[in-house]
Every structure is written in C-alpha cells, then in structure tokens.
Amino acid sequence: MLNFQRIYALFKKEFVEIVRDKRSLVIVFIMPIVMILIYGYAVTFDIKNIDIGIIDRDNSSLSRGYINKIVSSGYFIPYKDAYNNMDENIKALRRERIKVIVVIPSDFSFNLKKGKDAKIQYIVDGSIANTAVIGVGYLQVLTANFANNIKMDFVKNKGINPKKFPYISPEIRVWYNQELKSANFVVPGLIAIIMMLVAALLTSLTIVRERENGTYEEIMSTPVTSTELIIGKLTPYIIIGLIDVLLVTLFGILWFHVPFRGNIITLLFFSFLFILCALGMGMLMSSIAKKQEEAIMMTFFSTLLPSILLSGFAFPLESMPKAIQVFSYFVPARYFLNVLRSIFLKQDVTILMLYKEALFLMAVSIFFLVLAARVIKKRKI
C-alpha cells in the first residue's frame, strides 16, 4: 500500500530543493535554451553561402539559366576564379575552398531541347559530409524545379494546354520539409536530446546526493518504501520536464520558425512517457552510484551518448552497421525522435497512430523504474 502523505512530503521537499538549488535551475531552464541555440545554429540552421565551383561545358542560354537559378537561390556562392577550369576547381575542392563542383555536360541543352533526359554531375567533398549533403539536397531541389519549368515551357511552346498535359513530377521530392529547412528536422530531435539530458542528469543526482549528504541513511530509517521514494522524488522532475518540453517547443517555433502541425496533447503524452524513461534510467544510475561524479559519468555514457548517436539524430541509422542498428532499437530516443518529427511536421497525428512507440516507451520506463526500486530496496544504504 502506498502512503500518499509520505509521497507528498517527499515531493514537496524535492521540489523546494530543486527551486533553491541554483545548479538545478541552470540545468532546468538555462541549459535547454543554450543547447537549442548552439545546436540550432551550429548544426541545424540552414547552411547558406555554400561555395561551389561551376563548369559549364554547354555554354547555352539553358545552361546559363540553370546556373542563374542556382546562384540566385541565395544558398550558393560561385567560385568565379576557377570558372570553367576543372583543374583549379578540383584543387579548390581539396583545400576546402569550395564544397561542390557542378558540371554541366556539353549535350545539356541539346538533350533538353529534344525532350530527352539531361544529366548534371555534382562532385562533392565527402569529408565534410553535413554541408555537402545539405548542399546536394538544395541542388537537387533546384534542379527538379528547373526541369519542371522547362517541361512546362516545352509543353506551352507546342501549343498544348498544360492543364491537359500530365504533370511530371520531379524525381526528388522532399516530404514534410518542403522548404528543406534542416531546422525543421533538427529542432524536434533536439527536444529529445535535451529532455534526455535534463531529466536523466537531474535524477541521476537525486539519490546519490542524499547518500553523500547523509540524509539518505536517515530516510531509510523511516517507514518510506522504495516505491514511495521513487514516486515522491520523480513527480517534481516530471512536471519540470513537461515545462521544459513546452519551453523548448515554443523556442523552436518562435525562434527557428519550425512549424508545429500536430497537437499539444499528443506532444505532452509522448513527452511524459519519454521523460519517464529518462527518469527511470537516471534513478537507476543514482541508486547504483557511490559518488555524484560517478552518477554523472554513468548517465552520460548510458543515456546521453546513445541518445545522440543511435537515435538517428546525428547520423542516419540506415548507414550504420547491422549490429549497431539492432542496438538502436533499444534506445528510447529513437522512438521519441520519430514521434516528435511526426508531431511537428505532419498533420493529424494521433496517439493511436503511434501506439508502437507508446508501448515501447512505456515498457522501457517500467523496466527501469522497477529495477531502480529493487536496487534501492536491496541496497538499503
């Protein structure tokens, strides 16, 4: 039987402690904002002014139109000194003066005029993958757009009503993130990472700090059970975590202009489940660790690193070795990340549609919380 009076006493005490502890307040309110700003700009914010080299072997009005389209998009700056000079461009790519070389073949306009497929070559610096990938992404969208315009012109010139002509969709389409703004993709991911960090880090200290301060022994000499201890201690962090989710979401919407197409209830529901996972892990670390530093290190390696590396946040999971991919199925952030991206970018996402993610998050949180309760009960002091 749970004694709610005891739970309430624990809850209130923990809450007051958090509010009075400057370090906790920094973790709760300052760190998420700082993180989203730093990551938002460093990793996520749309990369503009990518230096590119241009080789125009066609030198026709069509090819110049294509180049004009690229340059006027605002995302690219052509490296003029090496214009049409392949050797110079490759050298520039090597010393990272430019990130991409766009090569327009000599049969470009010929093929297009005939209504045949035309090819464009991109030479990309693979070592700075992120910029290059984003750059190529932009180029593909621009190219598709350009191709579509030509086709429309072609149709018009032949005197055919374009409405009757079947619409030819470009081959590359970017779903849900039409503007190709990487912020749209990364900000929801950041929320998962920040939540994991805040929730797990804060709770990882909660028991071990009491153990260091000697208050833990005193609590264990009272009739408080391990379940009451966990519930009483976690509730304040759940509330704080949900406030943080709202704070970071609002920040993403207002500052980075990320769309929010889903609904807030779904967001809060899944955030609750995910926070519970994070808290369960933090609690377990806290009940195992002997020292606060130990708890922080353990939490860092067992929760934060997998959340960043194996959730699909920083690196696409598909390109990882199979063994690591399997491992990623046990990382809660992977599921929460999917959920968040869906909620932010798709319309009409309901809790039911994401029931698999919900079940998984529930299972993980129960697993860790029960384990933590057992460790607390067994270990005593």
Taking the complex as a whole, the smallest distance from the CB of residue 250 to another protein amounts, in Å, to 29
**Among 43, 224, 297, 351, which residue sits at the site for another protein (rule: CB under 8 A)?**
224
Does residue 17 touch another protein according to CB under 8 A? yes
Measured CA to CA, the distance from residue 113 to residue 76 in angstroms comes to: 27
> Does residue 26 belong to the site contacting another protein (CB under 8 A)?
no
Helix (H, G, I), strand (E, B) or coil at 77: strand
Contacts of residue 302, defined as CB under 8 A and 6 or more positions apart, other chains included, come to 281, 285
Q: What number of helices (H) and strands (E) belong to the chain? A: 16, 4
- Out of 13, 57, 69, 91, the residue judged to bind another protein by CB under 8 A: 13
- Closer to another protein by CB, 106 or 222: give it: 222
Query: Using the rule CB under 8 A, is 6 a contact of another protein?
Result: yes
Question: Of 2, 16, 128, 160, which one interacts with another protein (CB under 8 A)?
Answer: 16
Task: Please tell me what DSSP assigns to residue 47.
Answer: P
Q: Exposure of 330 by Cβ count < 10 A (0-12 exposed, 13-18 middle, 19+ buried)?
A: exposed
Residue closer to another protein (CB basis): 126 or 223 = 223
- Number of residues that this document lists for the chain: 381
Binding test (CB under 8 A) with another protein, winner from 121, 221, 325, 347? 221
Helices assigned H by DSSP within 224-352: 226-255, 264-288, 292-299, 305-309, 322-328, 332-345
- What whole-number distance in Å separates Cα of residue 295 and Cα of residue 292? 5
Using CB under 8 A, which of 126, 159, 166, 223 touches another protein? 223
Which range binds another protein by CB under 8 A, 6-14, 85-93, 98-106, 166-174? 6-14
Q: Which residues of 154-175 are buried (b: 16+ CB within 10 A; e: fewer)?
A: ebeeeeeeeeeeeeeeeeeeee
Query: What track of x and - describes contact with another protein for positions 190 through 219 (by CB under 8 A)?
Result: -----------------------xxx-xxx
- Closer to another protein by CB, 25 or 144: give it: 25
Residue pair 52/70 in contact by the 8 Å Cβ criterion: yes
Contact of 154 with 15, CB cutoff 8 Å: no
Residue from 251, 235, 238, 228 nearest 198 by CA: 238
CB of 222 to another protein, least distance (A): 5
Site string for another protein, 96-135 (x = CB under 8 A): ----------------------------------------
- Tell me the closest approach of the beta carbon of residue 369 to another protein, in angstroms: 21
- Asked if 2 is part of the footprint of another protein (rule: CB under 8 A), the reply reads no
**Residues with Cβ < 8 Å from 142, sequence gap 6 or more?**
69, 70, 73
Residue 10 is a binding residue for another protein (CB under 8 A): yes
Q: Work out whether 309 is an interface residue with another protein (CB under 8 A).
A: no
Q: Given the complex with another protein, which of 7 and 141 has the nearer CB atom?
A: 7
- Pick the stretch among 7-15, 49-57, 188-196, 340-348 that binds another protein (CB under 8 A): 7-15
CA torsion sign for 219, 221, 223, 226 is: positive
Would you tell me which residues interact with another protein (CB under 8 A)? Answer: 3, 5-6, 8-10, 12-13, 16-17, 20-21, 213-215, 217-225, 380-381
